[in-house]
Structure formats: C-alpha cells, structure tokens
Amino acid sequence: MNKRYRAFFAIVVLVVVASLLFLLFPPALAFIEMATRELRFLWWLILLVALGIWLIWGFNRKPK
C-alpha cells in the first residue's frame, strides 16, 4: 500500500468515525450545527482545528 492510498484510507476512516460519533451523541451534532450558524462568534474553533491538523501532519515530518 503506497502513501497516497494510506492517506486516503485514513481520511475516509476519520470521516466515518466522526459521522458515527455525531450520530451516537446528538449534543455534539447540535453543537456543530450551532457552531456553523454562529461561526463569527466561534472563529477560535476554526483556529483550534487548523492548529490540530498542522500539529498532527506537520509535527511528524522530517526535515530535508
């Protein structure tokens, strides 16, 4: 399995797990719906998600 397929598989699994969690925990889904409506008040949520993504994928990279 090459890196491209592994990355695609990881993203698909992440989306499926997140979807199942939102279906199992309706308060989390309600929070996400509210956050999308009130995005101008929860701009920090976008920054935290972006920071998390950057730390996950950027922290494991080795310098050239």
The count of structural domains within the chain is 1
Range(s) of the domain holding residue 54: 3-59
In a domain, 64, yes or no: no
- Band of residue 19 on the pLDDT scale cut at 50, 70, 90: confident
In a domain, 40, yes or no: yes
In a domain, 42, yes or no: yes
Against a cut of 0.75, is the pTM above it?
no
Contact 28, 22 (CB under 8 A): yes
In a domain, 26, yes or no: yes
29-57: pLDDT as tens digits: 788 788 778 777 767 778 888 888 888 88
Which of 40, 22, 20, 43 is closest to 31 using CA atoms?
22
What's the length of the chain?
Answer: 64
- What stretches of 1-64 adopt beta strand conformation (E)? none
